[in-house]
Structure 1
Amino acid sequence: MAETLEQRCDRLREPVTELVGVSISATLRPQDLPELARAITTVRGILSEDASSIPPGPFLDWLPTALRNLDRMHEAVSSGDAATSYAILTDKHDGFIRLTDGCAGFPGWARA
């Protein structure tokens, strides 16, 4: 059975929430960098799954950018730079705000 956009957004909700939280904490606590790297890997794994059954729209439009962002975030974390990783995550143009747009209307996803 093909996964729907709602199912994908549901699967992303908790890992993305964790990613945001640990991104904030890692900027203040370098000892959280391994946890941040793990959170990035988890979200990237979900976003890397086959998206062929997901309809065109904001989610798919942003997906290639999301994967590049996660790679850039991981590079920053690997070099000990949590602040740069957080800046990529929260970028107002290409950051994870666009995932909120892609998942808008589904439970747990609201556009601020």
Structure 2
Amino acid sequence: MADALAERCTMLGGPVIGLMQAVMGSQVNAIRFVEVIERAREIQRIVARGAEGIDDPAYTRWVATAPVVLDEIIDGAEHRDRERVWAAFSDPERGMNALAAACTGQPGW
């Protein structure tokens, strides 16, 4: 089970870092919204795999809400709404911080 979590966290590491950079960049440069959308969609494809084989409650809680959060990030970016993108990304319960908490201790996290 821990191996499945490690594998999933490894898969998500690069895309999440890319999303973080794009979200931060979009706060000062609207051109970065395109990249926000691309990175969020990349994460959506990984999230679509679900949490099979992963029994970590923090991860399963995050993966259950991630589709809604990622949709909010994408919709906010499509509408060039910096505040909405940031609010969804940084939400302490559902955003990328919750994923980081689930992946704490995994390589690259």
**TM-score, structure 2 length as denominator?**
0.89
Cα RMSD for the two superposed structures: 1.4
The ranges of structure 1 where at least 4 consecutive aligned residues each deviate by more than 4 angstroms after the TM superposition are none
Question: Who is 1:79 aligned against?
Answer: 79
**Pairwise CA distance, 1:51:** 2.3
Question: Who is 1:14 aligned against?
Answer: 14
Question: Who is 1:49 aligned against?
Answer: 49
Structure that is richer in helix per residue: 2
Identity of paired residues, percent?
A: 24
**Pairwise CA distance, 1:84:** 1.2
Structure 2 segments unaligned to the other structure (5+ residues): none
SS of 1:55's equivalent in the other structure is coil
CA distance in 2, matches of 1:26, 1:54: 33
Structure 1 segments unaligned to the other structure (5+ residues): none
Letter in 2 for 1:19: L
Superposed CA offset, 1:1-33 (max 9, x none):
xx7110000010011001000001011111111
CA distance in 1, matches of 2:31, 2:97: 26
**Pairwise CA distance, 1:62:** 1.6
**TM-score, structure 1 length as denominator?**
0.87
Question: Who is 1:64 aligned against?
Answer: 64
Letter in 2 for 1:60: T
Corresponding residue pairs, total: 107
Residues 89 and 38 (structure 1), Cα distance of their counterparts in 2 relative to 1, 3 Å cut: same
CA distance in 2, matches of 1:98, 1:76: 20
The answer to whether residue 96 in structure 2 is matched with residue 99 in structure 1 is: no
